Amino acid sequence: MESSSEGGYVKGLVSYMVMDDLEVKPVSIVSSTITLLNRFNVKEIGALEEKVVDLGMDEGVKLLKASMQSKTVLTDVFLPKMGVGTYCSE
């Protein structure tokens, strides 16, 4: 992969989505949204919510540890469990 004339590998003004398994993909708003809804079998769009998180040293260490133990890294680090299989959205 060659770097761009802007001095990096990421194009300007492109949004990226980080999946729960830490897969990073460029976002095409319409097609990505439809693909994700189908991929995760989402029937009720109102049940979805965006979560903005702070990423500091502690979270970075937790992400690194979880990435070696889990396929649901972001869920494990940023959504505290309430009980078996149940997450609290805070």
Domain ranges of the chain: 16-87
The tokens describing 12, both together, are 């300007």
Looking at residue 60, its pLDDT comes to 93
Looking at residue 30, its pLDDT comes to 63
Looking at residue 86, its pLDDT comes to 54
Instruction: Name residue 25's beta-bridge partners.
Output: 17
Q: What is the mean pLDDT of each run of 10 residues along the chain (90 residues)?
A: 57 77 78 78 81 88 94 88 55
Residue 62 sits at φ, ψ, to 5 deg, of -65, -40
- The pTM (predicted TM-score) of the whole model is 0.59
